[in-house]
Amino acid sequence: MNTESHRHHASGRRGRPTTPVPAPVADDHNLHPGLTVIVPAFNEAASIADTVRSLRSQTRPPQEILVVDDCSTDETAAVAAAAGARVLTPPVNTGSKAGAQTFALPQVRTELAMAVDADTTLAEDAIERLLEPFSDPEVAAASGAVIPRHVRTMWERGRYVEYLFAFSFFKRIQDHYGKPMISSGCFSAYRTAALRQVGGWSNRTMAEDMDLTWTLFGAGWKVRFLPDAVCYPIEPHDLNLMRKQLRRWSHGFIQNVLLHRRGLLKLGYLRSMVATAFWDAAVASLAYLVAIPLLALLVSPAFLLGYVIDAPVVLIPVALGAHRRRELGKALTSFPSYFVLRLLNGVMMLNALIRECILRKPLLVYEKGH
Amino acid sequence: MAAGLPGFGLSGVFFIISALLMVPMEIVSTLRGRSSLERWGQVLRSAGIALSILVGVELTYAGLHIALTQLSSSTAGAHGGGGGGGGAAQAHARTVNVVHVLPVLPILATIGLVAIVIVSAKAAELISDWRRKPIVSGDRSASAHPELRSHGERRHTPRPRRDPVDGRPSRGRVQPHLIDHERGIGELQHPLELASDTPG
């Protein structure tokens, strides 16, 4: 899953009952060539200026940068405007990153739209590279590689290894088979017409980027992954933030599997990928948290090797990816942190599985992690 | 595995198999004139990583085997002593064991499990087809939970006409599938409803 990025609001759920709302009008005739970037932001005064500056200094800068200041209580709007963005403000907090992004969608007048998180900067040629596949008219979305901007704490280091592994190996294979599992929410470009057809980003799950990706596949569009288009988000630096982010990701994954279960069945490679990932989500979590400790206690301590037995498997793609970035030392020193993060992944995933599938208590409140 | 998912289990094996299968598939594409050097570069890179991983697994397994064997033999030696001839025999046995250390059974079992999971998913598709009308597009009407309700219906045919980057006319394309879906949202108010209330 890469639920590489879903990061937004600490706000609670809105109390008003849902009423039928029509999907946006797809006025595609008025779209002109070019790119509009949508940056959803809630209390991002500390990072939004870097993000906007990074967008403006691209080798292929966007026509317009829309920052959706989702009723922040800090100076996000002023900072973004000063940095050169056009700021949109909903009348009330939309309650989620998806809500803020979709709020801005009717304002997009270009044929391509891009979603970038407010705490994410881009490599200077990232947009230029990410737009390459859109010369194929069947491509609706494209995402790039993600590398944590800061790699200092154990959690950031674990995430760094996790990303190096995924983007050096799995995502490239997924792209070759035409089915990237997710077009990362922190940095993805979309064909505006396609985005409008599916109603923009939905807030019905906690992983709006996965939901959108699978919906686009179901609608017959192609989605691409471009490993050379690189972005640098700020990742959770402590346990509390990481826990919140992983809670959203794990619940979001399960919610999307449940939501798209029928549509997924028609998408051969994606179906197989999700089936094995879902198996891992359940079985690997149980193995890490229950089976290995029990076996180590009851049979032999040697079973504790199960926690690190696949270290070389993970290390090879990570080392290759890090070597390409000339960050081998950083990757090697970060490597042990990966196993700690993996344990936390297991805890959060098992909890999400139990709550979503057994207790039927879905996560409905979007909590900001990072 | 990807970020946020635990473990390198079936997904890992699934992607290793996928990477290795890329080679014969690309050969077929090449024979059909649909390949390129760039694609071959990607294929060989992924297949190379997959092969490296397999070698890494084998070396790890062999290393563990040696370590555990030595540990057990030294424990046995400490308890029972032993002559020089016995030690040489043990060393020979270790060498033989290491040569035959490839974990064939676990590998086959894991691949078998991957196959079962994939076949089960395919079976679910066939059962779904049999039980109900086939779904062509992304099913946005299905809800994970009653709380995730669905409503509304739209129908569109995407009509991209120009290259969106530079505005040049696009070459001919296959029309994407006709989309027929219902849009579902959660309990949150849909932001487009907010947008309609917003001036400008």
Three-state SS string over chain A comes to CCCCCCCCCCCCCCCCCCCCCCCCCCCHHHCEEEEEEEEEECCCCCCHHHHHHHHHCCCCCCCEEEEEECCCCCCHHHHHHHHCCEEECCCCCCCCHHHHHHHHHHHCCEEEEEEECCCEEECCCHHHHHCHHHHCCCEEEEEEEECCCCCCCHHHHHHHHHHHHHHHHHHHHHHHCCCCCCCCCCEEEEEHHHHHHCCCCCCCCCCHHHHHHHHHHHCCCEEEEEEEEEEEECCCCCHHHHHHHHHHHHHHHHHHHHHCHHHHCCCHHHHHHHHHHHHHHHHHHHHHHHHHHHHHHHCCHHHHHHHCCCHHHHHHHHHHHHHHCCCHHHHHHHHHHHHHHHHHHHHHHHHHHHHHHHCCCCCCCCCCCC
Q: pLDDT at position B73, please?
A: 76
CB contact B22 to A (< 8 Å): yes
> Taking CB atoms and an 8 Å cutoff, what residues of chain B touch A200?
191-192
Q: What is the pTM of this model?
A: 0.80
Distance CA B155, CA B158 (A): 10
Q: Is B153 strand, coil or helix?
A: strand
Smallest CA–CA separation between A282 and chain B, in Å? 9
Q: For B189, name the nearest residue in chain A, comparing CA atoms only.
A: A18
Tell the residue number behind the tokens 């409503």, with chain if given.
B151
Q: Distance between CA A310 and CA A161 in Å, rounded?
A: 14
State residue A28's pLDDT score: 63
Q: By the 8 A CB rule, do A87 and A67 touch?
A: yes
Q: Pick the more confident residue, B7 or A95.
A: A95
- Closest chain B residue by Cα to residue A365: B188
Q: How far is A163 from chain B (nearest CA, A)?
A: 6
* CA proximity to A170, closest of B5, B109, B72, B79: B5
Cα–Cα distance between B9 and B6 in angstroms, integer?
9
Asked whether residue B182 carries a pLDDT value surpassing 80, the answer given is no
Q: Which amino acid is at B13?
A: V
Segments of chain A scoring below 70 in pLDDT: 1-29, 368-370
- pLDDT, tens only, A22-40: 334 445 667 899 999 999 9
Distance CA A144, CA A184 (A): 7
Sign of the torsion angle spanned by Cα atoms A55, A57, A58, A60? positive
Confidence at B109, pLDDT banded by 50, 70, 90: confident
B85 touches chain A (CB under 8 A): no
Instruction: Report the complex ipTM.
Output: 0.87
Coil, strand or helix at B159: coil
Min Cα distance A218 → chain B (Å) is 4
Of residues B6, B56, B152, nearest to A285 (C-beta): B6
User: What is residue B110's predicted lDDT score, i.e. its pLDDT?
Assistant: 82
Which residues share a beta bridge with A113? Answer: A36, A190
Supply the Cα-derived Rg of chain A in whole angstroms. 20
Q: Is the pLDDT higher at B157 or at A38?
A: A38
DSSP letter, residue B180: E
The kind and range of the H/E element at B155 are strand B150-156
* Rounded Cα–Cα distance for residues B8 and A277 (Å): 10
B106 — pLDDT class (breaks 50, 70, 90): confident
Instruction: Determine how many CB atoms are found less than 10 A away from the CB of residue A103.
Output: 28
Cα–Cα distance, B18 to A177 (Å, whole number):
9
Q: Which residues contact A325 (CB under 8 A, 6 or more apart)?
A: A147
Query: Among candidates B43, B103, B41, B94, which has minimal Cα distance to A313?
Result: B103
User: In this complex, which of A4, A32, A137 lies closest to B160 when CB atoms are compared?
Assistant: A137
pLDDT (tens digit per residue) in A254-311? 999 999 998 999 898 999 999 999 998 888 888 888 999 999 999 988 888 888 888 8
Across the strands, what pairs with A232?
A: A121
- Mean pLDDT, chain B, whole residue set: 66
pLDDT at B197: 35
Candidates B114, B135, B156; nearest CB to A266:
B135
Neighbours of B197 (CB within 10 A): 10
Q: Chain A closest CA to B138's CA: distance in Å?
A: 4
The Cα B180–Cα B193 span in angstroms is: 22
A272 vs B118: CB contact, 8 Å cut-off? Answer: yes
**pLDDT recorded at residue A25:** 43
Of A28, A106, A173, Cβ closest to residue B195 = A106
The Cβ of residue B94 has, within 10 Å, a number of other Cβ atoms equal to 15
